[in-house]
């Protein structure tokens, strides 16, 4: 997902004024994914939202303490938590098709083995299905597949609850106020970025 | 995970370009400080630390992009992205293998054969990722990525601000 261009940046302006413009655009980018990202099967939207959250988080980490004060720092932490949660969902979304592909591949291999065992027979003797080459693999692979599906469902629920908390907190309005009005901006503090 | 280093003297009222020079200098140093031992697959935290450093550097290059000449920034940013992608190609299987080990340990012996079957593929991906990372590090050295990033810093750091006040 390409980042939106931030207009009006001026190398000779102050860091805070330029950072304000960047934060506003990155904040809009995050909110543009709602409500679509709250749909359970919104794989692409969740992936793109994770990237948008990462972009907002990093600009806040660079500028929060130096320019905007404590709420910008809090917003950076919220974006980090959002990014982590979406990352866990993304891991399920990436791993599950690979597990399914391996299951399909092994099933095809066992089918080929059965046909080999059948030889010239006109029908298949059920006894030939005993001890297929991948019989020992099914249990673990199907457990893993089910685990990934169930875990994803739980994480998506948690994401919904997380976002409701963010909305209740009023993150958007509070961050816009922090970067626009800078009520708590430090005047002469060196920045300290949060650990990631 | 390593905490990001402070940027000494960074203030909201400083010139954007000056902040760019200070920040990119620190993040460049951080990136190369994390380079040692990243190809060692027995210690997966090294790759993680360097990947995070790469992300932080990439982020500040994007945040401060208007301060740098595009002809210097674009190739440096592309090379940092390539390095980040290569680190990700190693890190993703590292993390997956760790999760599979934990899953196998939790579910019990009857499930392990299937999980091991899947893990074999992840190990292959880890080796391929390590080879990609080795190549990316080699290219970064050959193309003097560090020197080019330092040149970016020098370029904006050496520029004087516009005079203030009435003519």
Query: Taking the alpha carbons of A113, A119, A120, A126 in that order, is the dihedral positive or negative?
Result: negative
User: Pick from A22, A66, A192: which is nearest to B11 by CB?
Assistant: A66
Closest CA to A11 of B21, B113, B143, B103: B21
Contact between A99 and B118 using a beta-carbon 8 Å cutoff: yes
Contact between A15 and B15 using a beta-carbon 8 Å cutoff: yes
Q: Kindly report the average pLDDT of chain B as a whole number.
A: 91
CB atoms within 10 A of CB B28: 23
Q: Which residues of B touch A147 (CB under 8 A)?
A: 103
Half-sphere exposure of A123 (CA within 13 A, CB side): 3
User: Pick from A18, A141, A194: which is nearest to B114 by CB?
Assistant: A141
Domain boundaries defined on chain B: 16-157
**Chain A interface includes B6 (CB < 8 A):** yes
Q: Which of B84, B109, B114 to mutate against chain A (most A CBs within 10 Å)? A: B114
The Cα A175–Cα A177 span in angstroms is 5
- Residue A194, domain member (yes or no): no
pTM exceeds 0.90:
no
* DSSP-derived 3-state class of residue A154: helix
Q: Least CA distance to B103: which residue of chain A?
A: A144
Can you give the residue range of the structural domain that contains A92? 15-181
- Residue A2, domain member (yes or no): no
CB B65 within 8 A of CB B73: yes
Instruction: Scan for tokens 């080796």, then name that residue.
Output: B127
**Chain A interface includes B135 (CB < 8 A):** no
- Residue A22, domain member (yes or no): yes
Question: In b/e form, how buried is each residue of B82-116, taking b as 16+ CB within 10 angstroms?
Answer: bbbebbbbbbbbbebbeebeebbeebeeebbbbbe
Report the domain count for chain A: 1
Contact between A190 and B63 using a beta-carbon 8 Å cutoff: no
**Chain A interface includes B165 (CB < 8 A):** no
- Residue A159, domain member (yes or no): yes
Q: Which residues of B touch A155 (CB under 8 A)?
A: none
How does pLDDT run along chain A (196 residues), one tens digit per residue?
788 999 999 999 999 999 999 999 999 999 999 999 999 889 999 999 999 999 999 999 999 999 999 999 999 999 999 999 999 999 999 999 999 999 999 999 999 999 999 999 999 999 999 999 999 999 999 999 999 999 999 999 999 999 999 999 999 999 999 999 887 776 544 444 444 4
Q: Which residues of A touch B5 (CB under 8 A)?
A: 193
Contact between B55 and A68 using a beta-carbon 8 Å cutoff: no
CATH architecture of B16-157: Alpha solenoid (1.40)
């Amino acid at each position: 997902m390409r980042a939106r261009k931030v207009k009006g940046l001026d190398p000779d302006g102050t860091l805070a004024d330029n950072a304000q413009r960047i934060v506003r655009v990155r904040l809009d980018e995050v909110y543009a994914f709602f409500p679509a990202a709250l749909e359970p099967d919104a794989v692409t939207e969740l992936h793109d939202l994770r990237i948008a959250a990462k972009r907002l988080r990093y600009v806040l980490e660079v500028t929060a303490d130096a320019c905007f004060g404590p709420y910008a720092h809090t917003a950076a932490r919220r974006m980090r938590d959002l990014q982590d949660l979406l990352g866990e969902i993304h891991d399920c979304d990436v791993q599950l098709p690979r597990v399914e592909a391996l299951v399909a591949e092994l099933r095809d291999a066992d089918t080929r083995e059965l046909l080999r065992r059948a030889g010239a027979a006109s029908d298949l003797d059920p006894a030939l299905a005993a001890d297929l080459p991948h019989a020992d693999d099914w249990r673990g692979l199907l457990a893993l597949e089910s685990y990934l599906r169930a875990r994803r469902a739980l994480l998506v629920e948690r994401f919904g609850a997380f976002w409701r908390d963010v909305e209740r907190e009023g993150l958007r309005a509070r961050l816009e106020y922090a970067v626009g009005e800078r009520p708590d901006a430090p005047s002469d503090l060196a920045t300290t970025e949060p650990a990631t | 995970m390593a905490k990001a280093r402070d940027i000494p003297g960074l203030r909201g009222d400083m010139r954007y370009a000056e902040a760019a020079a200070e920040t990119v200098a620190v993040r460049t140093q951080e990136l190369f400080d994390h380079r040692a031992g990243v190809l060692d697959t027995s210690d997966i935290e090294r790759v993680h630390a360097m990947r995070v450093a790469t992300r932080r550097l990439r982020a500040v290059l994007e945040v401060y992009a208007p301060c740098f000449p595009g002809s210097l920034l674009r190739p440096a940013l592309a090379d940092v992205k390539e390095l980040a992608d290569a680190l990700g190609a190693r890190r993703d299987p590292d993390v997956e293998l760790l999760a599979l080990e934990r899953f196998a340990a939790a579910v019990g012996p009857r499930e392990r054969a299937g999980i091991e079957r899947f893990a074999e593929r992840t190990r292959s991906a880890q080796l391929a990722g390590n080879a990609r990372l080795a190549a990316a590090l080699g290219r970064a050295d050959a193309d003097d990525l560090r020197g080019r990033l330092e040149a970016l810093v020098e370029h904006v750091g050496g520029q004087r601000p516009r005079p203030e006040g009435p003519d």
